Structure 1
């Protein structure tokens, strides 16, 4: 029997722990605050930001949201980040990606105070992660670790194949799995658009993490029996539905389900964990900045 992993249930358990931490902080006079900044008119980005703000409201984190005209100069975004960096009520800053073409992503991520960089994308925080001393683990890779732990899928000694080498998921995911300690100690192969014979690599996996952003690029024929499949992809494809589209992952769910011992669905798999770990990082940021200790799992 293939286990269909319930990401919502795992996220709910983490969120309950974060809510308890937020209460502890608030009782000590420190209400965690998360600022989201949107410089885009992309519908998906607007939805993601709205979901993050709703999560803040539900668990007792103060949410601040700012929108900047996507045609405005980059300085408008930089000035907003500078203001948030010095605002003591804001403990975490998230600038929603992607950004307009005329705005440098690297410049924006470097502008955020690394203590408030709850995405974990500032060069200082990336360096700490690679060195094995992460301040904030990037939300999606950390969420994948939480899924594996919750489902009892051991990484130690496992052959893990990560498909995708993005700065947001693929690279930090590989780094986390390689490191000493719980949730790590894996042998990791990173595949990408230049990988020769991708199917041969994916069939060798005990754990497959698909994060390439290509709809249903991996099917059952590319998997070995009993593999654990974590599908990070969230892709909109045209469909005969009310919205005119449906969401699918990077894995063809139906064919993969026949091979996998466990698999995350899309939606309802990794997505909820990304938001839960953002809340986790915001509570941690408030704790680090205030000196009020909390017990984050």
Structure 2
């Protein structure tokens, strides 16, 4: 058992997709998992010294730095691909190198390589190699992964036709990566703000993956970044089904892949006569102006629905 080993998980980026799975896996191996706290201004300040990277990456660096002295090692996987013939963001691929190059006095990194581009079975190679780093056998690692996968379960998204909503409810699609929308500090709690304004908010995790994948086939251009591909497919599914009265695309300044799919989604929304708004975030975004834009968009949708 590895009761003395403390493994740190920075609460950022892909933690919002796979955090519970990773946590269950390490705990099944007997390790103690330490997750960094919710994002703070201090974390952003720590990562803000980096140039030419997006806001979520800066925040992630701050989360990693906050775990110094609290963990014996940090789990910072090098996630190259999570789907066949697709890639993740290039900066995610170099995340372990970015952490090592910009932070000192941090615990040892477990930088397992994850690449499912050629074959999905390579995931098990990553699981086994991670277990070896912790002194665990192949059998123990695979057993822990199976248990973790069962514990995490398969998220069942809410279908686009959300039951229980009033017929006159104004629906808005809040499209963005999970590490933006679910981080209340980065997103300035946009989802709750919209809900407080009387909006019925639909996010990408509420759209069935199969429906998003089918909708993405109608894109004008093939998208090889898996997470952007899903966001584009989600948006098209909402547009095609007339499931929303408006779309808000939330992105971070300097995100190259998002800048391309944003334009594609905007054109599809305009063709479907669905109002579209871009929210571009960075560390200089003022909450007052941010709130004003949300309120103006919500008011416009309400007036439009009363016609």
Q: What is the TM-score of this pair, normalised by structure 1?
A: 0.37
Write 1 or 2 for the structure with the bigger share of helix: 2
Q: Which is higher, the Rg of structure 1 or of structure 2?
A: 2
